[in-house]
Structure 1
Amino acid sequence: MTAPTRIRATLKEGATELRMLLAHPMENGLRKDAEGKLIPAHFITELSVRRNGELVLAADFGPSISTNPYLAFSLAGGAVGDEIAVSWRDNRGETRSDTIRIA
């Protein structure tokens, strides 16, 4: 299992600003190791973000995304204590879900 997703959610001028750093190797399957063998593909394929259970972002990723992807975006509204949940699935079927509350 990978390290927890680092999520920061803050209220600013009537909007919720979200920043997150996903811990994932994001290998595209084209790089070679020191011995010249191909490193197998391993990348996030699906990502979702929910606020209080309501889907606010759904994204499909591919192998061209960099290692440890960083995402930042704003949502209209929000309140202190709202729950933000970030979930992803990769091409190997591994999943990760992390939640925080807006401070």
Structure 2
Amino acid sequence: MAQPMRIRATMAGDLADVKVLMNHPMETGLRKDAKTGQLVPAHFITEVSAAINGAPVMTAEMSGGVSKNPYLGFKVKGPKAGDKVVVSWLDNKGDKNSAEATIG
């Protein structure tokens, strides 16, 4: 499943502004398939984490109530241009994905 994430990280003064678009179906388990009438199994991101230069800066828990291909934005004080930001997620089926970007 692990389709690529898109990360944009820019500096604004002493804050790094990180924006992440995660490709994921985010199925709640409550929607019925239009053709078969069967429930589509739950498949959603449960945890997202971010680190800058290996130091954790953010962890978030999600559930099935988040829309398909979720967008996450956050700001971090302290990093500098050129630092590496890594964002990772784990879903309820054990799938995981990770992407890295350089703060510009």
Partners of 1:42 and 1:23 lie apart in 2 by 12
Partners of 2:14 and 2:61 lie apart in 1 by 28
Per the normalisation by structure 2, the TM-score is: 0.95
Partners of 2:21 and 2:32 lie apart in 1 by 25
Question: Could you list the per-position Cα deviations for residues 36-85 of structure 1 after superposition, in whole angstroms to 9, with x for gaps in the alignment?
Answer: 11000000011100000011001111110111110111110211210100
Report the counterpart of residue 77 of structure 1 in structure 2.
Answer: 78
Gaps of 5+ in 2: none
Partners of 1:70 and 1:43 lie apart in 2 by 14
RMSD over equivalenced CA pairs, Å: 0.8
TM-superposed deviation, 1:13:
1.5
For the Cα contact (< 8 Å) 2:29–2:42, is it kept in 1? yes
Per the normalisation by structure 1, the TM-score is: 0.96
Letter in 2 for 1:93: G
Gaps of 5+ in 1: none
Partners of 2:2 and 2:94 lie apart in 1 by 13
For the Cα contact (< 8 Å) 2:2–2:96, is it kept in 1? no
Residues 1-103 of structure 1: pairs in structure 2 closer than 5 A: 1-34=1-34, 35-103=36-104
TM-superposed deviation, 1:32:
0.5
Q: How many residues align?
A: 103
TM-superposed deviation, 1:33:
0.6
Runs ≥4 residues deviating over 3 A = none
The percentage of counterpart residues that share the same residue type is 48
Letter in 1 for 2:60: A
